[in-house]
Copies of this chain bind each other. A is one copy, B any other.
Amino acid sequence: MEELSILVVGSVALDTVETPFARAEETLGGAASYFTTAASLYSQVNLVAVVGSDFPREHLEFWRRRTVDLSGLQMCEGRTFRWIARYHIDMNARDTLDTQLGVYAGFHPVIPGEYRDSELLFLANIQPELQMEVLEQVHAPRLTVLDSMELWIMTARAQLTEVIKRVDILLMSEEEVRQYTERASLVAGVHHLLDLGLKHVVVKQGSYGALLFSADGTFFSAPTYPLEEVVDPTGAGDAFAGGFLGYLSTVTPGPDGQYSIEDIRRGVVHGNIIGSFVCEDFSIGRLRGLTMGHVAERYQILVDCSHFDPQWQFGKSR
């Protein structure tokens, strides 16, 4: 079968992250970095982003070895985007201490000609107007996945809605679903989102995993891998997206060009697995040496730990 390539547009950054237990300075970060590293475990990834002249060459060399195409990566005179954050004792919460946009401030995505037929597209968390610029440049991807954040819900709501209407799958945290839809009920909020034309909504729940709600009325509660130690949860959502689209890039869709709900569910499990690995180290540390053998092993654990008898009946008549 044909090799499906994956296009990602988003931020590449240098992160300084402090947790209650450790600290990492100027490590590779940004949504597109996590996604690219994760998805390139599965297939070729075409990366569109911007970095400054100070961006360490070693990261580029690492990606090139992972079959990442960097011809869409803009290198501009100036400083790379920096993000500085501190996590709370409960690692599901964090504070952003500083954001230095650098060359990202003037970023407009330019999709190289050879990327425009990419079958799978991930619009990582950037301004909705830039996400729309991407959608204007690509041909007809088989599947488009969108991520966003609270900032755009508050400041660019109308543009975000326009983007949502043009994609297949939306990733959103539980709080973001409530903020965007202004509904207290998560389920009611998701129905509102599906009514905008989405095929699926993936609700991210931090260490609690993810819920998949589909336009056909089904939902999927994916098991989560309980980590012995969370070193740094940064990028877990982007790595989830990388595992999700990475897995789907290896699947032959049905005759109608669509992925089955079973394909999508397996993709969510892959997303949870890759997201769990990312949390085991700072930056993309844990993904560097990761193999499909590691992924398969964790997949089997999730199969085992989510199994329960589908037949239930009383042991006595009543």
Which of A115-123, A158-166, A218-226 is near enough to bind chain B?
A218-226
Asked whether, in the complex, the Cβ of A309 is within 8 Å of the Cβ of B226, the reply is: no
Q: In A217-245, which residues have CB < 8 Å from any B CB?
A: 218-224, 226-230
Q: In A190-226, which residues have CB < 8 Å from any B CB?
A: 205, 208-209, 211, 218-224, 226
**Inside 8 A of A226's CB, which chain B residues have their CB?**
186-187, 211, 219, 221
Contact of A137 with B by CB under 8 A: no
Interface string of A276-318 (1 = CB under 8 A from B): 0000000000000000100010010011111111101011101
CB-CB under 8 A for A262 and B219, given A20-B184, A208-B205: no
Contact of A105 with B by CB under 8 A: no
**Inside 8 A of A1's CB, which chain B residues have their CB?**
315-316
**Inside 8 A of A185's CB, which chain B residues have their CB?**
227-230
Secondary structure call for the A interface: loop
Contact of A188 with B by CB under 8 A: yes
Contact of A97 with B by CB under 8 A: no
Number of chain A interface residues as a range: 35 or more
Contact of A108 with B by CB under 8 A: no
Contact of A94 with B by CB under 8 A: no
CB-CB under 8 A for A222 and B308, given A208-B208, A252-B315, A315-B250: yes
A303 CB to closest chain B CB (Å) equals: 4
CB-CB under 8 A for A221 and B310, given A187-B226, A187-B228: no
Give the nearest-CB partner of A226 in chain B: B187
For the complex, what is the distance from the CA of A115 to the CA of B244, rounded to whole Å?
A: 54
User: Which one of A185, A229, A250, A316 has the greatest number of beta carbons of chain B within 10 Å?
Assistant: A316
Contact of A265 with B by CB under 8 A: yes
Of B220, B303, B315, B318, the residue contacting A305 (CB under 8 A) is: B220
Show 22 residue pairs from A and B whose CB-CB distance is below 8 angstroms, ordered by the A residue.
A1-B316, A185-B228, A186-B226, A188-B228, A218-B305, A219-B226, A220-B306, A220-B308, A221-B223, A221-B226, A221-B305, A223-B223, A250-B315, A250-B316, A250-B318, A252-B315, A265-B307, A265-B309, A266-B308, A266-B309, A266-B312, A303-B310
